[in-house]
């Protein structure tokens, strides 16, 4: 069983400065939300215990709760120049 403390310690293999796509899908698999941003992890405020922060293309910062990633509400995938590589 996963506890709140376990979730707060998860880092999901994200690397500071890399670009990621954050996707949310409906029950039938269609994308209902998708955005791209640079992960602001590590020191300086990018990584917090309960959420992950991304800087979007329009220079706004958006946060996603870790629990939403754990339960599958959102999927985070790394962006590469030649396509998208799943991040786990």
Give yes or no for a contact between 88 and 12, defined as CB atoms under 8 angstroms apart: yes
DSSP 8-state secondary structure symbol assigned to residue 47: B
Sheet of strand 31-39, all strands in order from the earlier edge strand to the far edge = 61-65, 51-56, 31-39, 19-25, 75-80, 83-86
- 82 pLDDT above the threshold of 80: no
Please count the CA atoms within 13 angstroms of the CA of 76 that sit on its side-chain side. Answer: 24
Evaluate the CA torsion angle 86, 47, 68, 70 in order and state its sign: positive
Q: Give pLDDT tens digits for 31-71.
A: 888 899 999 874 444 455 788 889 998 999 998 888 888 88
Please state which CATH class domain 4-86 belongs to: mainly beta
pTM: predicted TM-score of the whole model, two decimal places: 0.75
């Amino acid at each position: 069983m996963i506890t709140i403390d376990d979730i707060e310690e998860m880092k999901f293999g994200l690397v500071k400065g890399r670009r990621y796509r954050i996707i949310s899908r409906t029950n039938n698999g269609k994308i209902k939300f998708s955005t791209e941003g640079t992960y602001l992890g590590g020191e300086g405020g990018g990584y917090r215990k309960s959420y992950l922060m991304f800087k979007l293309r329009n220079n706004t910062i958006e946060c996603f709760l870790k629990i939403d990633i754990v339960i599958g509400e959102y999927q985070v995938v790394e962006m590469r120049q030649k396509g998208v590589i799943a991040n786990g």
